[in-house]
Amino acid sequence: MNRVLSAETVSPELEAGGILTVDLAALTANWQLLGRRSLPAEVAAVVKADAYGCGLEPVASALLRAGCKTFFVASIGEGRRLRSIAPEAAIYVLNGFPPGTGPAFAECRLQPVIGNMAEMVEWDAFRTSAGWPGEWAVHVDTGMNRLGLSVAEASALAPRLERQHHGITLVMSHLVAAEIADHPLNAQQIEAFREIRRLFRGVTASLANSSGIFLGPAAQFDLVRPGVALYGANPTPGANPMQPVVELKARVVQVRTIQRDQTVGYDATWTARRTSRIAVVGIGYADGYLRAASAADGVAGGEAVVAGQRCPIAGRISMDLLALDVTEIGSGVRRGDLVTLLGDGIGVDDLAAFGSTIAYEVLTSLGRRYHRVYRTG
Ligand SMILES: *Cc1c(COP(=O)(O)O)cnc(C)c1O
């Protein structure tokens, strides 16, 4: 028997280039904070795109334990996964009712968010032919011009509410620019939605996403639909009231010294201005660390926390690696150490800014090959 092969196994933390920790206690606290901000409205949870990259099952399980009863996903596949762990929850499918998918909605008791007349006609026909009183949401477009019935179409629908078994459990619309608190469209959409809601008396009404909640009570109606703020992104124009949820650490593959005027990385875009220490870290754009956060001469890129200090990225981010200028740390960083790319004061919004994008994209890009840790307390 080979002594080496029979040795104890290596921990997954040691094997992985990066370790992603999702703090489910912080996520729950964020959901509760949004609920308090929205009282007396119900607070749902948007868990599309694998719960914004954080993991649908662990995220939804934590929110179910906290008392969340209503969830929004984008697709049937996401709805099916959620239904298998949430037998009682209301699950709305935001992307509506694709042709021929009635049996999937019935099997998983999913509620389509109907966003145009063709969908509604097919949905009606399915409910009738299947003899199944499927419930559903009406999406009314108040300015996004993406999904939703026109206000006129929605008005024509309203008399259905007198019929029995109409199945409409939610009337909703979506804000175009809620994160820009003083954008004139906010007031226009709130006003338009107030009219629509009058037509759908007795049906739960929902307008606000994360940022919409912070527009105040006029935007909150009966149910709010936060997504990104649950995961720690800042839904406000000011200081972030949410707790950070995602932490990303990655391992130093090697540390090397380079001479002044040498370059680092592809295309030689970054030049050392002094004798420099470079820590090469084992994650890259294939892990969702945005390549747009690369650094070049005269252009700052992303930052990481190394031994308690902020250090800048040096050069282009590669597929599986990135380089940090750790000259200031001296001998304080060594092969095998962990550096922090998200956390220790670097939030998802900061990482997004490094790459000229938004926290939504940072979160939904989070890589598949990290070792994932779910912290519950
Ligand atoms: C994604 C989405 C939300 C959640 O938006 P956040 O900005 O992430 O809070 C709410 N409603 C609809 C229709 C969505 O598509």
At 132, which CATH number? 3.20.20.10
267 lies in some domain: yes
| Domains of the chain: total | 2
Same domain flag for 71 and 220:
yes
pLDDT tens per residue, the chain (377 residues)?
555 665 678 888 888 889 999 999 999 999 999 999 999 999 999 999 999 999 999 999 999 999 999 999 999 999 999 999 999 999 999 999 999 999 999 999 999 999 999 999 999 999 999 999 999 999 999 999 999 999 999 999 888 888 878 999 999 999 999 999 999 999 999 999 999 999 999 999 999 999 999 999 999 999 999 999 999 999 999 999 999 999 999 999 999 999 999 999 999 999 999 999 999 999 999 999 999 999 999 999 999 999 999 999 999 999 999 999 999 998 999 999 999 999 999 999 999 999 999 999 999 999 999 999 999 98
Same domain flag for 263 and 216:
no
Give the residue among 126, 131, 130, 90 at the shortest CA–CA distance from 111.
90
Same domain flag for 227 and 107:
yes
Instruction: Report which ligand 1 atom has the smallest distance to the Cα of 74.
Output: 15
Q: Are 21 and 247 in contact (CB under 8 A)?
A: yes
Same domain flag for 281 and 213:
no
Best mutation site among 27, 72, 211 for ligand 1, i.e. most ligand atoms within 8 A of its Cβ? Answer: 72
Element (H, E) at 249: strand 246-258
Residue with CA closest to ligand 1 atom 11: 209
Residue 87: asked if its preceding bond is cis (omega within 30°), the reply is no
- 17-45 exposure pattern, b = at least 16 Cβ within 10 A, e = fewer: bbbbbbbbebbbbbbebbbebbeebbbbb
Please tell me the distance between residue 377's alpha carbon and the centre of ligand 1 in angstroms: 27
Same domain flag for 227 and 271:
no
347 lies in some domain: yes
What CATH number should be reported for the domain holding residue 250?
Answer: 2.40.37.10
Instruction: Report which ligand 1 atom has the smallest distance to the Cα of 172.
Output: 13
The pTM score is 0.96
Domain that holds residue 150: 40-231
Same domain flag for 208 and 288:
no
Same domain flag for 287 and 336:
yes
Same domain flag for 187 and 73:
yes
Q: Looking at the annotation, which residues are catalytic? A: 48, 266
112 lies in some domain: yes
